[in-house]
Amino acid sequence: MANQTAQAFSKHQLVGFEFLNSLTSVRSLSELLVEFPGLDAGDRLRFLGIIHKETGRLLNLLAELKLVPELGAPRQYPAKADKCSSKSTAPLSKTNHI
């Protein structure tokens, strides 16, 4: 029983970290887009692609947790933003973190 409680707590922590990571990425990139309107089109497109990917991750996580109602067949949100991403997938900084 204690082991199941520990596993459930660990799963909730993991879910919390997943949400926090995605939300932090979306917030940081959206702030960059607002604060630096002069960014070149390639960077803006790359940032928008990352935002699209991260929001897709959040929607998938919510669907997995059954926290959103499903209408008909379950929808799988794309992990990669095909139309929003640019060819460059280089990291934003040398440390590979945003």
Range of the domain at 44: 8-64
Q: Is 56 part of any domain?
A: yes
In the prediction, which pLDDT does 80 show? 54
Q: Is 98 part of any domain?
A: no
Distance CA 26, CA 30 (A): 6
Name the domain count of the chain: 1
In the prediction, which pLDDT does 49 show? 97
Q: Is the pTM of this model over 0.75?
A: no
> Which tokens is 70 given?
């499903």
47 Cβ contact partners less than 8 Å away, ≥ 6 residues apart? 29, 32, 33, 39
Residue corresponding to tokens 């040398």: 94
Residue 90 backbone zone (phi > 0: left; psi -120 to 50: alpha; other: beta): beta
Q: Is 82 part of any domain?
A: no
State what percent of residues in the chain have pLDDT above 70: 63
Q: Is 21 part of any domain?
A: yes
